[in-house]
Amino acid sequence: MKCQICDNPATVHLTDIVNKKKREVHLCEGCARERNLIPEQPGPQIDLKALLGLLTSPLAPGGGAAEPRPEPVATACEICGMTVAEFKAAGRLGCPHDYESLRSTLEPLLERIHRSMEHAGKAPRAVRVRDWKKQMQAAIAAENYEEAARLRDLIRRHEA
């Protein structure tokens, strides 16, 4: 298709629909720029490497901006060979041993994401039951029999 103004190959195709009437315009890039239909310079491009760097580097305290810091030494896992660069690119670890091998990189990241370095999620059922039994013994020792009965019933429900 040719430009409707200068007969060069048309690269910009516009379609307007006004009052149920369709109007098509086919222009070359030069004619479209003259009529300010496309910007002079291409818009800003997304720098994926910089974006990933912001996501994996710790935030500066108080300022909210990323604090420039030297890259950690590229240590590799002795078991699977995963490096810090591979972890940053993939976003996943290769094996359970990576947590120890890449500790210097992972600790600040996990601290920022989870706000803690200790697991605070659900405890396994056996751990909860053991804790309830200890609480029940303490309630019996304190002669708080209502609490002891409540804990006894809770233990029975979870052991059944």
Q: Residue 151's pLDDT band (boundaries 50, 70, 90)?
A: very high
**Per-residue pLDDT tens digits for 90-135:** 888 888 888 888 888 888 887 887 777 776 666 677 778 888 899 9
**Per-residue pLDDT tens digits for 35-70:** 888 766 655 667 777 777 777 765 544 444 555 555
Burial degree of 134 (CB within 10 A; 0-12, 13-18, 19+): exposed
Please, which residues bridge with residue 17 across strands? Answer: 22
Residue 71 has pLDDT above 70, yes or no: no
SS3 13: strand
Residue 144 has pLDDT above 90, yes or no: yes
- Residue 29 near residue 12, CB atoms below 8 Å: yes
- What is the C-alpha to C-alpha distance for residues 132 and 148, in angstroms, rounded to an integer? 9
Helix (H) or strand (E) holding 131: helix 125-141
